[in-house]
Structure 1
Amino acid sequence: MMETNLSNGMNDRSYSRFFGFVIVMSAVLFSFSSCLEGKKEEGVKTAEALIFPADAKASSEYNTGDVYVSLLKESGNTMIAHFIFKPYSRNFWHYHPDAEQTLLVLDGEGYYQEEGGEKRVIRKGDVIVTPPNVCHWNGATPGSSIVCMTVTEHAIENHAVQLRAVTDKEYAN
């Protein structure tokens, strides 16, 4: 099949891939914007009110505190995951080999930090794009849970390289 280069420099294949990603993300965001009304606990909708409840506890091998996850898609070269981090919880320092990750904050308040950068507060509506091979971590603040979704393109066998726990000092600073 012959590919056509478009005026913006993208070929048919990359344009189709980009357009498909935009459609999927638009549908996901629309779905979350129409969440059911639910009781609030620590500023986060209860599991009954979430479209994608994250009810499986994530491994303590790569997380500190109470982290819950639901893998929405893990086949092919794209992983979509839904996370709930309870107050004080966070994942380990990690990076995604040769893959970009998009983090969508759906509810609550948390932290995000890239290695060598300042820890920053993230809130509902924030979208963070982590470039390939950039070491980072994210998690909840002491006073709030955070609900987020990640979309990561990855090699089938290795979507993340886990490094080490975020220390209490790193978390507090």
Structure 2
Amino acid sequence: MKTIKILAVAAILLLSHACNTQVEKKENTKSLIPEEAIFPKGELGPATNFTGNAYNFGLVENDSVYNTLAGNVYFEKGARSNWHVHPSGQILIVLDGEGYHQLEGQPKQTMKKGDVVECPPNVKHWHGATENNSLTQMYILPKTENGIVTWLEAVTDEQYISN
């Protein structure tokens, strides 16, 4: 009987130590992983269309069935697109970080994780990360049979920092 009690106590101590070790490992692993991205970083966008580093990863290729493009863009801190227009508009879904978007003639707006932004057809606009945060956004371009994008001039530093 005494042996069974000793074995039971030993088993409880061993199990308790194993659970604590697993919790410590999870906590240590969690602190070592900086940011878990949903999609790969993608290809660096051309400097002719972006200020700073922005990376595109295509998710849905354009075709004659869906006539839609979708992808993910990761903007490093301070990176932004040039002004541009989409003939059928654009939908942005913020997956992580914080950024800005601006429609021409309107004040710059802040976007955060979970926000959905609709850029109307043929309206000049830009979007990108804030000065202190990166931004991960998904984009959806509908009705691509009307065209995809027309890239315009760079967003100036004054436009970027203005309210």
* Fold-level similarity (TM above 0.5): yes
Quick one: which amino acid aligns to residue 81 of structure 1? G
Higher helix share: 2
Instruction: Tell me, in whole angstroms, the C-alpha distance in 2 between the residues paired with 1:166 and 1:143.
Output: 18
Note the C-alpha offset of 1:78: 0.5
Which runs of structure 1 show a deviation greater than 4 angstroms over 4 or more consecutive aligned residues? none
Matches within 5 A, 1:55-134: 55-76=42-63, 77-97=67-87, 99-134=88-123
Determine the structure 2 residue equivalent to 1:136: 125
Contact 1:96 1:154 in 2 (8 A): no
Partner of 1:52: helix, strand, or coil? coil
Structure 1 residue 158 and structure 2 residue 147: aligned? yes
Quick one: which amino acid aligns to residue 130 of structure 1? C
| Residues 127-170 of structure 1: CA deviation (Å, up to 9, x unaligned) | 00111111100000010000000011143483001111000100
Note the C-alpha offset of 1:66: 0.7
CA RMSD of aligned residues (A): 1.6
Partner of 1:113: helix, strand, or coil? strand
Contact 1:111 1:139 in 2 (8 A): yes
| Residues 95-128 of structure 1: CA deviation (Å, up to 9, x unaligned) | 101x121100000000010000000111001000
Q: Normalising by the residue count of structure 2, what TM-score does the alignment of the two structures yield?
A: 0.74
Q: Normalising by the residue count of structure 1, what TM-score does the alignment of the two structures yield?
A: 0.70
Structure 1 residue 39 and structure 2 residue 33: aligned? yes
- State percent identity of aligned pairs: 39
Determine the structure 2 residue equivalent to 1:145: 134
Give unpaired runs (5+ residues) of structure 1. 1-36
| Residues 8-33 of structure 1: CA deviation (Å, up to 9, x unaligned) | xxxxxxxxxxxxxxxxxxxxxxxxxx
Larger Rg computed on CA atoms: 2
Give unpaired runs (5+ residues) of structure 2. 1-29
